[in-house]
Amino acid sequence: MMIVIGIIPIVVAGMLALYSVTYSHRLNVSSLEDGALDQKSKEIQNFISEVADIFKLQVGYEQVSEIEKNSQHFLLTQMFHDMPVLEDVSFVNLAGRETTRHTLDAPNGVAEEFLRDESRLPSFKTAANGNTYFGQVYYTERGPRLTLASPVRNKNGVIISVISGEISLNKIQEILQRPKLGATGYVYVADANGQVLAKSNSKDDFKNVRNMGLVQDTLMGKSFWGPASQRRYESIFGESVVAAATYIPNLQWALVAEWPIADADLILDTLLAQVAAVFLVVMVGAILLSLLLSAQIVEPIQVLEQSAAQVATGNFKKRVVIATHDEIEELGNAFNKMTDGLEQLQQLKNEFVFIAAHELRTPVAAIKGYLSLIKDGTVGHVEGKVLDFINKVMDANERLIRLVDDLLEIARSDAGRLTIEVMPIELLSPIQSVLSELQPLADEKSIKLIYEQMTLPKVLADVGRVKEVVVNLVGNAIKYTIGSGTVTITHELQDQMVVTHIKDTGLGISKEDQEKLFQKFYRVATEQTKNIKGTGLGLFIVKQIIEKMNGKIWVESKEGEGSTFSFSLQIAQV
Amino acid sequence: MDFRRYSYLIAACAILVLAIAIPVEFYFWFVAPTVEPLQSVQVFHPHFYRNPDISLDKIRLKVVYAVPQGKTAWSDWKNILEQALRDNARFHALQFRYTSQIAFDIFPEPVFLKNPAVYYDSNDTNRGNPRGLVAITQELETRLLTSGGDLYSPEFAHKNPNEYTVLGIFYEGVGATGGTIYESDTGSFRKIVERPKLPETVIADVRLKDWNSFFLLNRKFLTDIPYRVYGATLLYHEFGHTLGLPDAYDDHNEILSNDIMGGSRMGPISAAYIDDATLRALGVLPEK
């Protein structure tokens, strides 16, 4: 119990520690990933904005006419110089026809026959309507690109032509380098089709990730920020990762941060190991301490408990030794004093009973003697009521004599003065002797005494005490048989014992009474037994005698059907 | 044996085990985050334009250098052709997101055609000389690709049923065109071109047994300035028609897309691409 009480707070504390460490770590990971995403998202959007800003051309004149061709070439050359990510740029007139175009392969401008009619392209139409156009990402051998187109306005804001270009997105790969996610965390961009456009730490992962739950949802406009939105899954790039994502709306891209769990949780694993180690040490310590305390506190209490149980059965010699140097030791000392006192009281009681019974014996014997003389007519004829009164006094005196004898017997037994001379004896003859003695009593009540004799080995017993036992048991059998009946005595051999059974057809004894039958002064109190005389000490004395001869005594009985008292005596080994 | 003393020890051990097991179970059931398994990766199977029944996982080009009677073969034709085909293969792999591969076989010697150039060439170079393509292809089929032909090569003629095979003609003459043969139940050129509003000159009556897809490219596109800058691009453009890709420009040269079937066909192949809509129709990108 002490162990459990000691352990429970430790277990609860351990669970709380596990939870808080894990949750705290999750917050940290989320914070780092969100920080990386935020930084990279801003960098990407800044890059695109810078490029888009360069495309926002406004001329300084008011005419609604195209820029002069030489100026177009000049401007395009300047743009190529200012923006290394530009790979192809052209001016397109409002009819949709390219008027000049510069490319990486033709930095001074392509030939006339290579100029295109873009009037049906969405890039031209959007820009001609006054909006900046961002195309879908496409992939060339030179890297990913997208189309950007923007209106060219005059001083008054009127659209005079369109400028359209192809922007290299190789810069995105550079932006995504070094995302600061541990040693192995990475970030990648997926285009609107789920194609990986760029990925930190690698240039070769040209995979389509649209099917992955996180990317799919992100491309629909959701973002996965914060610890609650963090996802853990087996990544298409081959590791279990913890991931977060954000949507870049104007480009319809998903920016995903994935941090391999083995790297992300490295510190967590270390912390958990430390928590587990501390927890284990504290747990073992708590258990050992509980055991120690248990030995110190609980064991002495158990010793006291057991000793008290023994004292309750009458064993006043029991003493306890408790050396805990605390209140429990004092309790133990008090217990020993108590049992000392009880033992003294018992001794005094036994002495008193012995002396009282011994002193009473003489007067009651004298009373008996004188009553007999009176009844015999020694002092004159006695008859009628006087005789009747004398008979009643004699009966009462007989009972007193028997009580005194029984008390004396018990007192001797308690004082250890009960003399029993155990020697090998024959059982048959003492039993036959008792039966002859009690025959008249049985005849009075029309009770048959049956003795089923058999050849028996000698037993170790005191012949006088055996007679006393048989007298008591057969006497009880006769006493407690109302009307006619039988008392049967049989023997059987069990192990190294001779068992004698005395069975009657009398009143029988209830289960509750059977348990107390051999206690001092106990008498069965029923309507049928209230008129049967007795001291309540006979069976107690019989039990003492049998046990002192190393035997046992017991009873089997059923109310209304009679009883069988049995006792065993050791076979004498010759 | 004092069972009571040992029972305390057993109880203590049992409590220790429980005290460890409970937090561990708590952690794994309620605290430790779960890792979702890898979702099935979407696998794309490229196919003929708008026709999933024709797989384009593996494509094989059988390329022949055809020289009309009376003309001289270009001396370095093979190296130039090989380089262009390699560029095409690389371009194709990237555009198809590595779900489709092109392999090619070049007939080792120039094939000198039976007739002079005038027989095969066309005045209508706007259309790329489709009639020339048909005439040459029919001759090659008879001589080169059918058993009994004077130039028959069983290895070259062999078609693997697991590959989509295209015949490429590197032509020492006029033209740049490509296409596939479709069965028409109308029987009339006029009726065929009526709906798409094309001129009848784009339709040819083709009598080929085993070859459905072929393209033709004038050698000069790979060798002569200024064309050679975009020669490989044009080669793929024509080859693209054999996969069912339509031109992305109209009769007035207004481009419908800047990809290799439209605006970027006239530029270096390193800057060319196939646009999303076409890739979706080829089964390379998921449907929107």
Which site among B5, B27, B30, B86 would you substitute to test the A interface, given the most A Cβ atoms closer than 10 Å to its Cβ?
B27
Look at residue B192 in the predicted model and tell me its pLDDT.
Answer: 60
Q: Do A233 and B226 touch (CB under 8 A)?
A: no
- Residue A134 CA to residue B283 CA, distance in Å, equals 24
> In B, which residues are within 8 Å of A138 by CB distance?
259, 273-276
- A188–chain B nearest CA distance, Å: 17
Which site among A138, A147, A196, A290 would you substitute to test the B interface, given the most B Cβ atoms closer than 10 Å to its Cβ?
A138
- Residue A466 CA to residue A569 CA, distance in Å, equals 10
ipTM: 0.85
Omega prior to B226 cis, within 30 of 0: yes
**Which of the four pLDDT bands, split at 50, 70 and 90, describes residue A18?**
confident
Residue A158: pLDDT over 90: yes
Residue A267: pLDDT over 90: no
- A15–chain B nearest CA distance, Å: 5
**Which of the four pLDDT bands, split at 50, 70 and 90, describes residue B204?**
low
Q: Count each helix (H run) and each strand (E run) in chain B, helices first.
A: 9, 8
**Which of the four pLDDT bands, split at 50, 70 and 90, describes residue A92?**
very high
Overall average pLDDT of the B112-128 stretch: 71
Q: Note whether A193 contacts B: Cβ–Cβ < 8 A.
A: yes
B11: CB partners within 8 A, 6+ apart: A3
> In A, which residues are within 8 Å of B276 by CB distance?
136, 138, 193
Overall average pLDDT of the A289-307 stretch: 81
**Which of the four pLDDT bands, split at 50, 70 and 90, describes residue A175?**
very high
**Which of the four pLDDT bands, split at 50, 70 and 90, describes residue A255?**
very high
Residues 224-243 of A with CB under 8 A from B: 231-236, 240, 242
Return the DSSP state at B11: H
> In B, which residues are within 8 Å of A139 by CB distance?
94-95, 273
Residue A42 has which token pair?
Answer: 């801003």
* Span of A203-207, A324-328, A358-362 with lowest mean pLDDT: A203-207
Nearest CB neighbour to A117, from listed B12, B34, B255 = B255
**Which of the four pLDDT bands, split at 50, 70 and 90, describes residue B152?**
very high
Q: Which has more confidence, A348 or A96?
A: A96
Nearest CB neighbour to B266, from listed A114, A166, A242 = A114
Condensed to tens digits (0 to 9), the pLDDT of residues B1-44 reads: 566 667 777 877 887 788 778 878 887 877 777 888 887 777 88
Q: Do B266 and A105 touch (CB under 8 A)?
A: no
Residues 516-545 of A with CB under 8 A from B: none
Q: Do B38 and A116 touch (CB under 8 A)?
A: no
Residues 254-293 of A with CB under 8 A from B: 261, 279-280, 283-284, 287, 290-291
- B48–chain A nearest CA distance, Å: 20
Condensed to tens digits (0 to 9), the pLDDT of residues A443-469 reads: 988 999 999 999 999 999 999 999 999
Look at residue A359 in the predicted model and tell me its pLDDT.
Answer: 80
> In A, which residues are within 8 Å of B33 by CB distance?
26, 232, 242
Tokens 């419908």, residue?
A: B256
Condensed to tens digits (0 to 9), the pLDDT of residues A470-526 reads: 999 999 999 999 888 999 999 999 989 999 999 999 999 999 999 889 988 888 888
> In B, which residues are within 8 Å of A194 by CB distance?
286
Q: Which has more confidence, B12 or A116?
A: A116
- Closest-CA residue of B relative to A196 is B97
Residue A268, helix vs strand vs coil: helix
Q: Note whether B23 contacts A: Cβ–Cβ < 8 A.
A: yes
Residue B288: pLDDT over 60: yes
State which amino acid sits at residue A515: E
Look at residue B175 in the predicted model and tell me its pLDDT.
Answer: 64
Nearest CB neighbour to A236, from listed B8, B38, B270 = B38
Match domain B55-281 to its CATH number in 3.40.390, 1.10.3110, 3.10.450, 1.10.8. Answer: 3.40.390
Look at residue B156 in the predicted model and tell me its pLDDT.
Answer: 92
Condensed to tens digits (0 to 9), the pLDDT of residues A123-156 reads: 999 999 999 999 999 999 999 999 999 999 999 9
Residue A97: pLDDT over 90: yes
> In B, which residues are within 8 Å of A280 by CB distance?
20
Residue A399: pLDDT over 90: no
Look at residue B197 in the predicted model and tell me its pLDDT.
Answer: 60
Residues 25-84 of B with CB under 8 A from A: 26-27, 30-42, 44
- Buried/exposed B239-277: b ≥16 CB within 10 Å, e otherwise: bbbbbbbebbbeeeebbbbbbbbbbbbbbbbbbbbbbbe
Q: Do A117 and B38 touch (CB under 8 A)?
A: no
User: In chain A, what are the domains?
Assistant: 12-49+176-264 (3.30.450.20), 56-135+145-167 (3.30.450.20), 332-414 (1.10.287.130), 423-570 (3.30.565.10)
Residue A573: pLDDT over 80: yes
Which site among B266, B269, B287 would you substitute to test the A interface, given the most A Cβ atoms closer than 10 Å to its Cβ?
B266
Q: What is the 3-state secondary structure (H, E, C) of B31-81?
A: HCCCCECCCCCCCCCCEECCEEEEECCEEEEEEEEEEEECCCCCCCHHHHH
A54: CB partners within 8 A, 6+ apart: A79, A82, A83
Condensed to tens digits (0 to 9), the pLDDT of residues B237-281 reads: 999 999 999 999 887 778 999 999 999 998 999 999 999 999 999
Q: Do A194 and B286 touch (CB under 8 A)?
A: yes
Residue B124: pLDDT over 60: no
Residue A56, helix vs strand vs coil: coil
Residues 181-240 of B with CB under 8 A from A: 226, 229
Mean pLDDT computed over every residue of chain A: 88
- A116–chain B nearest CA distance, Å: 7
Which site among A5, A15, A296, A305 would you substitute to test the B interface, given the most B Cβ atoms closer than 10 Å to its Cβ?
A15
Residue B191: pLDDT over 80: no
Mean pLDDT computed over every residue of chain B: 83
**Which of the four pLDDT bands, split at 50, 70 and 90, describes residue A205?**
low
Residues 86-105 of B with CB under 8 A from A: 90-91, 94-95, 97-98
Q: In degrees rounded to 5, what are phi and psi of residue A541?
A: -65, -45
> In B, which residues are within 8 Å of A10 by CB distance?
19
Residue B203: pLDDT over 70: no
- Closest-CA residue of A relative to B36 is A233
A503: CB partners within 8 A, 6+ apart: A477, A487, A488, A489, A490, A562, A563, A564
Q: Do B271 and A26 touch (CB under 8 A)?
A: no
Overall average pLDDT of the A275-287 stretch: 82
Overall average pLDDT of the A435-439 stretch: 91
* Span of A74-88, A310-324, B56-70, B186-200 with lowest mean pLDDT: B186-200
Q: Which has more confidence, A380 or B188?
A: A380
Burial class for A452, CB neighbours closer than 10 Å (0-12, 13-18, 19+) = exposed
**Which of the four pLDDT bands, split at 50, 70 and 90, describes residue A203?**
low
Look at residue A236 in the predicted model and tell me its pLDDT.
Answer: 87
Condensed to tens digits (0 to 9), the pLDDT of residues A208-230 reads: 888 887 888 899 898 888 888 88
> In A, which residues are within 8 Å of B269 by CB distance?
141
